[in-house]
Amino acid sequence: MGKVIVTLKDGATREYEAGTTLMSVASDISRGLAKKALAAKVNGQVVDLMLPLHDDANIEFLTGEDEGGLEALRHTASHMLAQAVQRLYGPAKLAIGPAIANGFYYDIDAEKTFAPADLEAIQAEMEKIAKEDLPLIRQEWPREQALDFFRKAGEIYKVELIENLPADAKISVYTQGEFTDLCAGPHVPSTGRVKAFKLQSLAGAYWRGDVKNKMLQRIYGTAFEKKEQLTAYLTMLEEAARRDHRKLGKELDLFSMQDEGPGFPFFHPNGMVLRNELENYWRAIHREFGYQEIKTPVILSRALWEQSGHWDHYRENMYFTKIDEGDYAVKPMNCPGAILVYRAKLHSYKEFPLRQCELGLVHRHELSGALHGLMRVRSFTQDDAHIFMLPSQIKAEIQEVIRLFDTVYSVFGLSYHAELSTRPENSMGDDATWEMTTQALRDALDAYGLPFKVNEGDGAFYGPKIDFHLTDSIGRTWQCGTIQLDMQLPEKFDLTYIGEDGQKARPVMIHRVAYGSMERFIGILIEHFAGAFPVWMAPVQVRILPITDRQAEYAEQLRQRFFAAGIRVQVDDRSEKVGYKIREGQMQKIPYLLVVGDKEAQEGLVAVRKRGAGDLGALSVEAFLDNLQKEIDEKTI
């Protein structure tokens, strides 16, 4: 049969008989690896462990700690879900059941309408399937055999999927026990490998996402390699529900979403305080890093969007209007306006790098089902910046942007990791330009010493980008900051500068955001801090609680003094017991509650209660104000 040579991740090589499966290779390396491995990567492609090797290959075994291994585990869980449904409720028609971020789902066309209580029965049947430890057997069938099998089974959705494949496509199916499903894979070796899973919720989903098609029932679940990982994830979800920014936004009177403006947030006074503090910090840090602020119009002509490429590449996400019989669009991005500001005068190489920043309001059309509080809206303010520079300045300038991002995120106690996204299918420009710009981003990340992951084909249509994914206080990640290197728009808009030789030359352009959008970043911070904002951001920093009416005058004197010092302060002079006022102040997550009675009024003191620390005792007004101002100035978390 011949021999094959496999090269392992550490560079070691081994020789096997042709036809040896990956599982046999794993077993030969060690029993522990064979037990832990869920899938393998062969020459960069994730495959089943039961795949036989017929050629030399580079091999990496994947466990539940690897993205590919976990995805194979969750994909298998989705098949177990479908198998359990058909065991319990008869021949339900199956659509698709992929692994997704944090879990899996299956879309099902069944006569029975599933209720939350049914998830328990399906979960129990899945657990039986896991105990049966059914091997997953992959087969490749001719097209007609596959069509015949699924037609006889009444699987109309599978038939449609096969009919839409090329005539010469290899049709792969997976069988576990009595259950066979159309699937490209990969999967784990047997159902017994799927031990830690949980069905979570029900939803409706149109077949192929088309509202003209039938509404199917979607069952969501999640799966992990180990039960303790599942328990930790479910605990995190419970904490996330407690921190939900929509819930806290209402309780803390920060913002609302109204039927009259779906996807368009309304910020209330408390929310505007929070927003303004974020904007004030944004302006201060950008001034420190050498940026100049600009402002560009919300509506610009169709000709501009055609020139920028948005008309061809982004039109489905845009809103339009007519002015004086001409076509205009509401801007979905700020960059074309910033380019017009740059082009308004002649520039010299001596000005570079030229850093311009903008808090620019943009509008993007989102489907109503995708809207989600402040996280997914139709109008939002991007904290944009556009930097124009010489090609020789790219590496240093990107490093400077990373330094700015690092400074900003540390203020909020947010750690992060970077991901580099490369050329997408619908891109503009030539291969050489894309290779040069992508390498420039790689070099800057390497020089800064920032580890990064590569997302092939996920860049912007005009250039590669670096995305910054923030980790919040309960371990969730959020994509916020972006650095996009662009040599396309300067070309499209014929941007120039006068070089050292006195000749016109083309600048390089960086697009970047730190917060991402004000709205989404506020939503993230609400959940990150669970509404208990650092004192410098808090809508109300101090609330004064007089015990009786006798202290009302002293409380008002304190309020005026604090207000004059720039503190956001309130007096709760209601005829309620002080204990009730304290509990309410705690519920509203106010950083400092100052209780004042007769003694405090007579001696010029305040009895301080600090959020999270409790009673700090009595302090002089001067001492309290000094400590508070220091905490605000240092932006203490």
* CA 407/CA 89 separation, integer angstroms: 56
Q: Which of these is catalytic: 187, 465, 528, 581?
A: 465
Buried-state track 302-325, b at ≥16 Cβ within 10 A, e below 16: eebbebbbbbebbeeebeeeeeee
Going by C-beta distance under 8 Å and a sequence separation of 6 or more, which residues neighbour residue 490? 339, 388, 506, 507, 508, 509
- Cα 325 to the chain's mean position, in Å? 40
Q: Is there a contact between 96 and 106 (Cβ–Cβ < 8 Å)?
A: yes
Going by C-beta distance under 8 Å and a sequence separation of 6 or more, which residues neighbour residue 480? 468, 469, 470, 513, 514, 515, 516, 520, 521, 524
* CA 377/CA 366 separation, integer angstroms: 7
Q: Name the residue with tokens 């409380």.
A: 555
Kindly state the helix (H) or strand (E) to which residue 569 belongs, with its residue range: strand 569-571
335 is catalytic: yes
Query: Which of helix, strand or coil describes residue 205?
Result: strand
* CA 590/CA 572 separation, integer angstroms: 12
* CA 264/CA 563 separation, integer angstroms: 33
386 is catalytic: yes
- Cα 62 to the chain's mean position, in Å? 25
Q: HEC string of 271-299?
A: HHHHHHHHHHHHHHHHHHCCCEECCCCCE
Six-digit token pair at 494? 């014929």
> Please, what is the Cα angle at 329 between 324 and 331, to 5 degrees?
135
Per DSSP, what are the bridge partners of residue 175?
137, 180
Q: Which of these is catalytic: 183, 335, 357, 480?
A: 335
* CA 274/CA 281 separation, integer angstroms: 11
Q: Which of these is catalytic: 48, 118, 384, 472?
A: 384
Q: Which of these is catalytic: 83, 86, 356, 382?
A: 382
* CA 556/CA 570 separation, integer angstroms: 9
Q: What radius of gyration, in Å, describes the C-alpha atoms of the chain?
A: 30
Q: Is there a contact between 80 and 191 (Cβ–Cβ < 8 Å)?
A: yes
Question: Closest by alpha carbon to 391, among 512, 308, 500?
Answer: 500
Q: Name the residue with tokens 């006889």.
A: 152
* CA 223/CA 225 separation, integer angstroms: 7
Q: Is there a contact between 613 and 603 (Cβ–Cβ < 8 Å)?
A: no
Check residue 547 and report its DSSP letter: S
Query: Which of helix, strand or coil describes residue 58?
Result: strand
Q: Is there a contact between 378 and 330 (Cβ–Cβ < 8 Å)?
A: no
Q: Which of these is catalytic: 331, 386, 528, 543?
A: 386
Q: Which of these is catalytic: 158, 275, 511, 528?
A: 511
357 is catalytic: no
480 is catalytic: no
198 is catalytic: no
Angular region, 268: left φ>0, alpha ψ -120 to 50, beta rest: beta
Six-digit token pair at 176? 């576990």
Cα torsion through 177, 178, 179, 184, rounded to 10? 60
Per DSSP, what are the bridge partners of residue 321?
328
Q: Is there a contact between 382 and 335 (Cβ–Cβ < 8 Å)?
A: no
Per DSSP, what are the bridge partners of residue 60?
41
Q: Is there a contact between 420 and 483 (Cβ–Cβ < 8 Å)?
A: no
Question: Closest by alpha carbon to 198, among 77, 106, 109, 73?
Answer: 77
Cis peptide before 353 (omega within 30 of 0): yes
Q: Which of these is catalytic: 286, 364, 378, 568?
A: 364
Catalytic residues: 335, 364, 382, 384, 386, 465, 511
